[in-house]
Amino acid sequence: MVDYEAAKQAVKALLEAIGEDVNREGLKDTPDRVARMYAELTAGEGEDAGKHLQVTFRSDSDGLVLEKDITFYSTCEHHLMPFMGKAHIAYLPSGKVVGLSKLARTVETYARRLQIQEQLTSQIADAIDLYLEPRGVMVVMEAEHTCMSARGIKKAGSKTLTYACRGEFKDSAQLRSDVFALIKE
């Protein structure tokens, strides 16, 4: 839970530390806006993503399920700057499936935390593996990190790709290749 007053004071102190006049018109309400922004950006902290994956449906389908191009926004825990991109989730059902929007909600829950992309990818894969008990799951994430594109090396447009595999995806290069091919379509 965000302590708004403490967050506002911290933002005010930061602005003063970088030489800004916190009383000028454009900055008067900035501490409040930034405190509310961080509350929104970290709203997934402490939230159980499993709540989105607990309602499943019986299914005899054993074919690949792929939900791709799930847009996400997260915040780098190293620089407190945004990174954003697309998540792609593939799984092989073993008797049950979940509503497709629940996969996107799972991504959102984990993305709304101070994160690193590698951890985010694994957390999503682990949650799907735990709650759906599929024969396999693969999560692929591609993102642009503003901590790299807007500062530091300043390489706008570069993307980081991470993936996590569980079950049959971990053991089968062909399955992984199939998922990558479908993502590109």
Per annotation, catalytic residue among 45, 119, 147, 168 = 147
Of 88, 115, 123, 145, which residue is the catalytic one? Answer: 145
Is-catalytic flag, 88?
A: no
Query: What's the CA angle centered on 115, arms 71 and 111, to 5 degrees?
Result: 30
The predicted pLDDT at position 9 comes to 96
Cβ neighbours of residue 72 closer than 8 Å, sequence gap 6 or more: 84, 85, 86, 87, 107, 108, 111, 141, 143
pTM attached to this predicted model: 0.94
Of 76, 115, 123, 165, the catalytic one is 76
Rounded Cα distance, 127 and 121, in Å = 10
Catalytic residue among 20, 45, 47, 79: 79
Q: Which of 5, 16, 77, 118 is catalytic?
A: 77
Cβ atoms of 175 and 136 closer than 8 Å: yes
* Catalytic entry in 5, 9, 16, 78: 78
9 a catalytic residue: no
Active site includes 147? yes
Closest CA to 111 of 119, 103, 102, 120: 120
Per-residue model confidence as pLDDT tens for the chain (185 residues): 789 999 999 999 999 999 999 999 999 999 999 999 999 999 999 899 999 999 999 999 889 999 999 999 999 999 999 999 999 999 999 999 999 999 999 999 999 999 999 999 999 999 999 999 999 999 999 999 999 999 888 889 999 999 999 999 999 999 999 999 999 99
DSSP designation for 25: G
Among candidate residues 88, 117, 123, 165, the one labeled active-site is 117
**Per the structure block, which two tokens stand in for 2?**
């965000």
* Burial of 6 from C-beta contacts in 10 A (0-12 / 13-18 / 19+): exposed
Quick one: pLDDT at residue 2?
Answer: 82
Return the pLDDT at 153: 87
Task: State residue 56's pLDDT score.
Answer: 93
Q: Could you confirm whether 76 is annotated as catalytic?
A: yes
Known catalytic membership, residue 117: yes
List the strands of the sheet with 136-145, edge to edge: 114-115, 65-76, 82-92, 136-145, 160-167
Q: Are 59 and 92 in contact (CB under 8 A)?
A: no
CA dihedral 54, 57, 58, 64 (to 10 degrees): -90
